[in-house]
Amino acid sequence: MAVVRPFKAIRPKNDKASFVVSRSYEDYSKKELNATLKFNPFSFLHIINPGFKFDKKVVGNERFKLVRNRYLEFLEEDVLMKDAQDCFYLYQIEKNNFSCCGLFAATSVADYRNGVIKKHEDTISRREKLFANYLQTVKFNAEPVLMTYPDTDSIAKIFDQEKQRSPEYHFTTTDKVTHRLWPISDEKIIRKIKDEFADINALYIADGHHRCASSDLLANISEKANPEHSGKEPYNYFMGYLIPESEIYIYEFNRMAKDLNGLTKEEFLVRLDEYFRIQNKGVILYKPTRKHHFGMYLDGEFYSLYLRKKAYAFTDPLSELDTQILYKTILEPILGITDLRNDKRITYGYGKHNVLRMKDEIDKGNYKVGFTLVPLTMDEIKDIADANLVMPPKSTYIEPKLRSGLAIYELEYKKNRNLTVK
């Protein structure tokens, strides 16, 4: 059973919501970031980039402390406010042909530990510790973990009823995304939501594996340092955004390699023939449309690669993933790329126009060969998580990408101590 709890969110004042919320820091170009910081004093970017105020680059614990200070300033200046009672927060996102509606809730660290919240990616210990120290210092969580649950008619009915009310927020940001948010404070509705999620056996992490792992690490350290630990402290939970599986959008990452590992074009194609039926598509842009089929761009021409299934063994859910097949048949044995996360010879790209960008980069000579794949499915992600397996890096690009600053979960509690993750 999945445990979800309402919480008293810190969130923007109604008239400032559209100015406060920000995309992921890495999503901004340097020019756009500087313009936003210069001309929008309410942007959440001022909190997460506190050095701008002093025209100084700050890092590490100095940055963490200044983030805390900027956060407190936003509260003192009434840019942000704290809700008086515990709520769930229904949040709808719409852009072009994309729409999803889910729930901001406090989700359980214990569920993450015992496998009710399931993962499909590895995390890096160094990053876990860094973010746990960040959370301990700033004492708030502004970036929810994106999780999915099976489509459930009873939950959908509750959400549809709540959406009949006027939303607390209704605004469109400059990237033409429309945002609506409904706080849910009615105790009967809150009880219904908690009961419905208690009947769900598993939640699946779609985006935010390091946030989960860091919250788990912080909870473990906090519990050991708190002699009055009760299990009800805020550090026992982290903020999640829960949406039905049908409203997750999954895109593929393409791969580009710098060289052919010392092989000529002809030698490379001969090596590929061991695992694939190869068709030269010439200059006609080609993208695969089925699992176990791949596109390739090499030396000004597109190719289709059809996996020879008798030459490759399917042994578990991981072995059936196209990203794993590409790794085991081409990237590792032929191109000599063993470390998909750190090898500088491989680069990843996503997006509907990425095939053209890939072609352009290869034509310029920046890369030698590129591969296109079809997107993975939610069922494949669940199969990997259920089997306690781990996907290769950059197997999925998932939407929605959530904003920072719309709802903030506070980690501070009265007996809070100065804990350090080591």
Task: Identify whether 277 is part of a domain.
Answer: yes
Looking at residue 362, its pLDDT comes to 96
Residue 132 banded pLDDT, cuts 50, 70, 90: very high
Do 203 and 156 lie in a common domain? yes
Q: For residue 90, which of 16, 189, 203, 216 has the smallest C-alpha distance?
A: 189
- The C-alpha atoms of residue 9 and residue 6 are separated, in whole angstroms, by 9
CA distance 63 to 119: 30
Query: Are 201 and 268 in a shared domain?
Result: no
Is residue 420 a part of any domain in this protein? no
The verdict on 234 and 272 lying in the same domain is no
Element (H, E) at 78: none
**In whole numbers, what is the pLDDT of the chain averaged over residues?**
94
The structure tokens listed for 212 are: 């989960």
Record the pTM. 0.93
Same domain, yes or no: 269 and 352:
yes
Distance CA 354, CA 348 (A): 10
Q: Name the pLDDT band for 140 (thresholds 50, 70, 90).
A: very high
Best CA proximity match to 146, nearest among 105, 86, 109: 105
Range of the domain at 277: 253-395
3-class state of residue 372 by DSSP = strand
Task: Name the DSSP class of 402.
Answer: P
Query: Judging by beta carbons within 10 Å of its beta carbon (0-12, 13-18, 19+), is residue 374 exposed, middle or buried?
Result: middle
Q: What is the pLDDT of residue 415?
A: 60
* pLDDT value at 27 more than 90: no
Distance CA 284, CA 278 (A): 15
Residues 162 and 272 placed together within one structural domain of the fold: no
Contacts of 372 (CB under 8 A, 6+ apart): 252, 254, 286, 287, 288, 294, 295, 296, 297, 355, 358
Q: Pick from 19, 201, 183: which is nearest to 103 by CA?
A: 183
CB 383 within 8 A of CB 372: no
Over residues 82-95, the pLDDT tens digits come to 999 999 999 999 99
> Same domain for 193 and 315?
no
Closest CA to 4 of 101, 149, 108: 108
Q: DSSP secondary structure string, 83-96?
A: -SS-BEEEEEEEET
pLDDT-derived band at 422 (thresholds 50, 70, 90) equals: very low
Whether 85 is in a domain gets the answer: yes
Q: Looking at the domain assignment, is residue 40 inside a domain?
A: yes
Q: Is 38 within a domain? A: yes
Written as one letter, the residue type at 297 is Y
Q: What does the pLDDT read at residue 413?
A: 76
- The mean pLDDT value for 240-269 works out to 96
- 62, 112: one domain: yes
Q: What is the pLDDT of residue 350?
A: 85
Question: CA–CA separation, 146 vs 208, rounded Å?
Answer: 6
Residue 25 confidence class, pLDDT cut points 50, 70, 90? confident
Judge residue 26's burial from the number of C-beta atoms within 10 Å of its C-beta, 0-12 exposed, 13-18 middle, 19 or more buried: exposed
Q: What's the number of domains the chain is made of?
A: 2
Checking if the pLDDT of 417 tops 60, the result is no
- Kindly tell me if the per-residue pLDDT of 418 is higher than 50: no
334 and 356 housed in the same domain = yes
Q: Are residues 167 and 221 in the same domain?
A: yes
Model confidence pLDDT, tens digit, residues 320-355: 999 999 999 999 999 999 999 999 999 999 876 689
Q: Is residue 418 part of a domain?
A: no
Are residues 377 and 297 both part of a single domain? yes
